[in-house]
Structure 1
Amino acid sequence: MYKTKLVDSDLIAWTIEQRRHFHMYPELSGQEYETAAYVKGKLDEFGIPINPKFSAPNIVAYFKGTEGKKTIALRADMDALPLYEEGDKPYISTVPGVMHGCGHDGHTATLLAVAKWMSMNPHLVKNNIVLIFQSSEEASPSGAKQLVEEGVLDGVDVIYGIHYMSNMPLGKIGFATGPAMASSDDFDIVIEGKGGHGGSPHETVDPIYIATHLIQAFQSIISRNLNPLHAGVISFGGMQAGNSYNVIPDKVQLKGTIRALTYEGAELMHTKTAQLTKSICESFGATGHYHFIEGTPPVYNHPEACEVATEIIQKTFGDDVFLPFDPVLGAEDYAYYLKEKVGAFINVGMQSEKSQYPHHHPKFDIDEAAIPAGIELMIHLALYA
């Protein structure tokens, strides 16, 4: 049906130029003011109005279609990571300790290219398009959550976003239907016992010993409480307790993360970790203080949106380009959009010699050969989703 490529070499070259600009001048989550100003300047050039109601540094623009019977939102994230970039690329970060180590520079440039193309071909765009340039994907508070609370999805029928992926072959595009990425919540626990001499443990309430029971018990949530068909994981990442050979400390501090592919699984693990902390500590005569740190919900790709996206990918690029993606326990705040509206989060492969390092690695880079497919995909989603 489609197969006609809408993206020419000039737009591709322009997009790569924009991507390299963003890469050279990265900004951390919540600090993307210069990036936002740059995006705003380009949208002004294209004559696409920006909605001023949304909190800075987010940028939300609105393109009115010729028919306007349907409104489609397209999202790109803008923030970088607190990493010192390694390598000798000509567009290396100019900001010490900050780099685009996850591809958000490519996402922002790609969505800008879609905006540019629409401004040049307004007669072809029947749908209304909401362009979301989002702050703070990598850190809390989430930019997606903030925008949803501010009403960015009001009147939107469906939302799509893309992510350039270094662990997916260059030339492939795909996603997981249904549960796609995990929730990400954290917890802090303080176990208060009674310290004393290591040679007289009977006179103490040993919080280290209690902590070992708690760590083991949390794994029973995964093996005995969580539905075996619903993936989830609880991992402890920190433990601080005492600093002597023969002194049992008064307290132990634990910290960890909870990941789940379903809303139900996330809620179950939150509830059970809190209950076990209280009950196990009390059974040993200690006090357990549990602090839950809410992160992002699971990414759920709606089947109806996935069906449309699959058809668009196959008709635009060919049947062999689409690659079903397994769910992963990484997290994405794009989940907040999908919790409210029908939509999907789509992976664009770029694994190659140039893009051989994982996301969040100091040598990570986008293989710019993937960018034409990203632009083409998002334009077709705007036109035909």
Structure 2
Amino acid sequence: MARTNVTMAPTIPTGRDLRLDLFRGLALWFIFLDHIPSNIVAWITIRNYGFSDATEIFIFVSGFTAAFVYGRAMSDYGFVVSSARILKRAWQIYVAHIFLFVIYMGQIAYVARGFQNPLYAEEMNILEFLQQPDVTLVQALLLKFKPVNMDVLPLYIVLMACFPPVLWLLLRRPTLALALSGLLYALTWEFGWNLPAYPSGTWYFNPFAWQLLFVFGAWCALGGAERLKWLLRSRITLSIAVAYLVIAFLITLTWHIPRLAPLVPRWLAEQIYPIDKTNLDVLRFAHFLALATITVYFVPRDWGPLRSRWLQPAILCGQNSLEIFCLGVFLAFAAHFAKVEISPGIPMQILVSVLGILIMIAVAWLLSWYKDATARRTGRPVDQAAKPSLGGEA
């Protein structure tokens, strides 16, 4: 056992990478903005300029953080203890999801009934719940029934629940673990595997496909990023990444300006469409990799602005990601409600977007303050860089 620990220890990072918190915080903001229908402020998010969106960032960082937190535990305490900790965290996220579901349903039902507008229930996909609350609640507990904007947490619960054996293999045979993840991804595309949803269809985020991004993030955390450093620092790699992002942007531009659509050659359109989000299309995965390559190239781990006060709001949100994600779901519907009942105009869109992000920042600051105060009272060291988040323990 001692020999195994010596072998694994160098692959496990020893300090928190603030870039992960920064970009997960930004991803949370982008998800919130994208969840507000017909929101002009959402044009600042990445989904309008390429094939991927904030979900890819969120899942990759979550996989990276999970490996960072639990890799050391599995190395030090073994498979059983670390697996128990991982499953405990999966249970905590599950409980948070159920609380979010119940309160979210109450929020939508109250607004729909109070303002005599049944379209809210239809838009948020809760008609089945209003008609058969007993059956639907059971299906929600089984993670089969998910209202609009509540698909990410069930995906993460499944990924975390299945993570112990994956982490065990990553620590011992990282290349094999990543290869098996890629094989599962390929078989999912070949045979159409997915989990059933209620009342019909399948999961919007197919866990058999999205596990590839999660496992890739964990692989990078456990030494993969270090092994790829030579490739990520190459100007050739950077040029390829930039070229891919430019091509993706030009193709995406044709979606927003229909008259430009004929500029995409028919043979190319037949090859790339549809760009499937449910099954993590290869083009989406490649787009994320291109973004990550440019980020790593220009934003090193010791990048000075990471310690500046201007980036602290996003970092704080990233360090309290579970709570901020849940809050963002409520705020997105509240913003939608304000647009429908008060004004759909651009000023209202800007107001609800800015106000929502400010509320997210304020709650993240309060949560961080509480954690720091609790740590001081209990005599534990306060380390902002090592604070847990969605991938770690509460």
Q: Quickly name the TM-score band, shorter chain normalised.
A: under 0.3
TM-score computed with the length of structure 2 as normaliser: 0.23
Higher Cα radius of gyration: 1
Which protein, 1 or 2, shows the higher relative CO under an 8 Å CA cutoff with sep ≥ 6?
Answer: 2
Which is helix-richer, 1 or 2?
2
Which is strand-richer, 1 or 2?
1
TM-score computed with the length of structure 1 as normaliser: 0.23
